[in-house]
Amino acid sequence: MKIYGKLAIGAAVAAALLQLVRPGIPAKSAAAEIGAPAQVRDILEKDCYSCHSDERRLAWFDQIVPGYWLVRRDILTAREHLNFSTLGSKPLATQKATLYEGVNMVQLGAMPLPRFLALHPEAKVTPEELATLKSYLAPWASVPNQAVGVSTDAQSAKHLPTAGSVGNNQPAVSLAAVQPEFNGFPFDPSFKNWKPMSFTDRGDNNTFRFVVGNEIAVRAARSGHISPWPDGARLAKIAWQQERGPDGLIYPARFLQVELMVKGARQYKNTDGWDWGRWRGEDLKPYGRDARFVDECTSCHMPVRGNDYVYTLPMTSAQVPGEEVVDTQAALPGGLPFQPLDWNAVTMFVDPQTQSMSALYGNDAAMHSVDARGSASGPTRYSPGSVLALVTWVQRDDPHWFGARIPAALQSVEFVQVEAAAKAGRYLRFSGSALAEEHIPDDAMAKRTNFLLDLAPAWLP
């Protein structure tokens, strides 16, 4: 019994001595808090400032070692990623972008950390508070401005979007010479030939995204074998700034960046089974300042770890049980003259009035005509044998990202077959819930044919 007593005393002394081993948690006054209404800031202070600010807010039980060491590590890590005490020094767009990420972390259950909430239930973001934050951000309150210098007469309007002319005065980039990311991840020029898997309309930053995949990724999505994705699957997310045309539609304009992911469960086990890279601007400069940029990638994708760290819901008719990981609403049925989802995408646009999203696809002959135009501006001259398909969907909110919309129910599919050089041939339109063939007057048919042929391709370096 004496031995047990001595052990207990020794343990108590050791625990007391450990309390002296407590590296500090720096605390100071806010330098530049976020520029937001008081109601929004009150929510952030209640739910986020314990970790994401320069204030030192510890409950009594947070002070006890060894728990204190874990709390300190979490706080310093959280501040490095997001610090509301200094966020106000950044541009307003950056402040809002940070809030969008925070809102998405909250609604996906990643923040506040579940282990933190277990001991600090007062930090829980209530549904009412989340609604207040979303209302403040209001991603669809406005549309991008009309392009400067674009004529608004009806004849000029048909040549939109202007994305095909963006970057024309820039020297061509040698894709083979693009530098790898700072983690050594090489740029993959072949992404330009990958097949589209989905499209995203980002109201939070007025951008469009093509999400494309290599053959392994596309095959996995079509079969529903994406939980997890197979090794060798490659995904690319290509982004353009949005631009409103004089016809009221929103088109891709300036090229912004391309992000790449490649799956290798063992090879990349230290970064959640994926390797990551991002290249920005028309000269495709690596995004990171050093190899630690990957931490930003893994942190951002952490909330969708249940979807193997992939935000995108690929358009497929495959049924995947459990959590929503595919977009079956947007898949095309059989029975159409062509299956454009097997083709490459030329461009896309959104009609904000009807909240619909359209993607223009081209068969191999059409894409060869697009590639042959190089950096030339103006409409593409499609060669005989080219087939274009304009697929239009109703939009829906992206369940994985507040501020984004993705394809939902099909509205229509239009085809134009080019029979002679620079001359349109047969036009077909299928619409309605059953995608039945629709017969329209000749003048309307000619107008739609010209509209499809005059859509300029989204520009890529």
Stretch 177-195: mean pLDDT, rounded?
Answer: 94
**Strands, E assignment, 340-441:** 344-351, 356-362, 387-397, 404-420, 423-431, 436-437
- Token duo for residue 41: 């800031």
Which of the two residues, 104 and 119, has the higher pLDDT score?
104
Phi first, then psi, for residue 453 (nearest 5°) are -70, -30
- Token duo for residue 368: 């060869």
Stretch 415-424: mean pLDDT, rounded?
Answer: 77
346: left (phi over 0), alpha (psi -120 to 50) or beta: alpha
In this structure, are residues 210 and 199 in contact, taking their beta carbons and an 8 Å threshold?
A: yes
Stretch 111-129: mean pLDDT, rounded?
Answer: 88
Q: Residue 5's pLDDT is what?
A: 65
Stretch 409-430: mean pLDDT, rounded?
Answer: 86
With 90 as the cut, is the pLDDT of residue 453 above it? yes
- 3-state SS track over 157-205: HCCCCCHHHCCCCCCCCCHHHCCCCCCCCCCCHHHHHCEEEEEEEECCC
Contacts of 127 (CB under 8 A, 6+ apart): none
Contacts of 60 (CB under 8 A, 6+ apart): none
- Token duo for residue 45: 């202070």
Q: Residue 168's pLDDT is what?
A: 45
Stretch 196-208: mean pLDDT, rounded?
Answer: 96
With 50 as the cut, is the pLDDT of residue 361 above it? yes
CA 288-294-299 angle, to 5 degrees, is 125
The single-letter code of the amino acid at 298 is T
Q: Residue 57's pLDDT is what?
A: 84
Residue 320 pLDDT level (bands cut at 50, 70, 90): confident
Distance (Å, rounded) from C-alpha 248 to C-alpha 147? 11
Place of tokens 């079956």: 328
Contacts of 46 (CB under 8 A, 6+ apart): 122, 123
Buried-exposed string 338-356: b where 16+ CB fall within 10 A, e elsewhere: bebbebbbbbbbbebeeeb
Q: Residue 380's pLDDT is what?
A: 84
With 50 as the cut, is the pLDDT of residue 31 above it? yes
Strand 423-431 with 404-420, pairing: antiparallel
Beta bridge partners of 262: 234, 275
Distance (Å, rounded) from C-alpha 407 to C-alpha 268? 31
Mean pLDDT of the chain: 87
Domains and CATH numbers, the chain: 15-137 (no CATH), 154-304 (3.50.70), 340-454 (no CATH)
Q: Residue 422's pLDDT is what?
A: 53
In this structure, are residues 314 and 213 in contact, taking their beta carbons and an 8 Å threshold?
A: yes
Residue 174 pLDDT level (bands cut at 50, 70, 90): confident
Identify the H or E element spanning 280. Answer: strand 274-280
Stretch 384-395: mean pLDDT, rounded?
Answer: 96
Place of tokens 């990958």: 194
- Token duo for residue 33: 């808090």
Place of tokens 């999400």: 211
Phi first, then psi, for residue 117 (nearest 5°) are -65, -30
Stretch 417-442: mean pLDDT, rounded?
Answer: 85
- Token duo for residue 221: 């999505």
The sign one gets for the Cα dihedral 192, 198, 204, 206 is positive
Q: Residue 10's pLDDT is what?
A: 58
Judged by average pLDDT, the poorest of 245-254, 378-387, 419-428 is 419-428
Residue 283 pLDDT level (bands cut at 50, 70, 90): very high
Residue 43 pLDDT level (bands cut at 50, 70, 90): very high
Q: Residue 389's pLDDT is what?
A: 98
In this structure, are residues 406 and 398 in contact, taking their beta carbons and an 8 Å threshold?
A: yes
Q: Residue 211's pLDDT is what?
A: 98
With 80 as the cut, is the pLDDT of residue 424 above it? no
Q: Residue 355's pLDDT is what?
A: 95
Residue 93 pLDDT level (bands cut at 50, 70, 90): confident
The most confident of 53-57, 107-111, 154-158, 389-393, by mean pLDDT: 389-393
Distance (Å, rounded) from C-alpha 327 to C-alpha 321? 12
With 90 as the cut, is the pLDDT of residue 16 above it? no
Distance (Å, rounded) from C-alpha 312 to C-alpha 197? 8
Q: What secondary structure does DSSP assign to 346-375, as a single string? A: EEEEEETTTTEEEEEEE-HHHHHHHHHTTT
User: pLDDT tens digit string along 232-273?
Assistant: 999 999 999 999 999 999 999 999 999 999 999 999 999 999
Please report, in angstroms and rounded to a whole number, the separation of the first and last CA atoms in the chain: 79
Axis-axis angle for helices 127-137, 38-47 (nearest 10): 130
Question: Could you count the other beta carbons within 10 Å of the beta carbon of residue 426?
Answer: 13
Which of the two residues, 450 and 374, has the higher pLDDT score?
450
The most confident of 156-160, 274-278, 321-325, by mean pLDDT: 274-278
Q: Residue 172's pLDDT is what?
A: 63
Residue 170 pLDDT level (bands cut at 50, 70, 90): low
Stretch 65-84: mean pLDDT, rounded?
Answer: 83
From the number of C-beta atoms within 10 Å of its C-beta (0-12, 13-18, 19+), residue 66 rates as exposed
Contacts of 352 (CB under 8 A, 6+ apart): 143, 248, 249, 250
Distance (Å, rounded) from C-alpha 47 to C-alpha 125? 6
Percentage of residues in the chain having pLDDT higher than 70:
87
Stretch 138-161: mean pLDDT, rounded?
Answer: 55
- Token duo for residue 339: 């299956």
Q: Residue 9's pLDDT is what?
A: 65
Residue 76 pLDDT level (bands cut at 50, 70, 90): confident
User: pLDDT tens digit string along 206-216?
Assistant: 999 999 999 99
Question: Could you count the other beta carbons within 10 Å of the beta carbon of residue 54?
Answer: 17
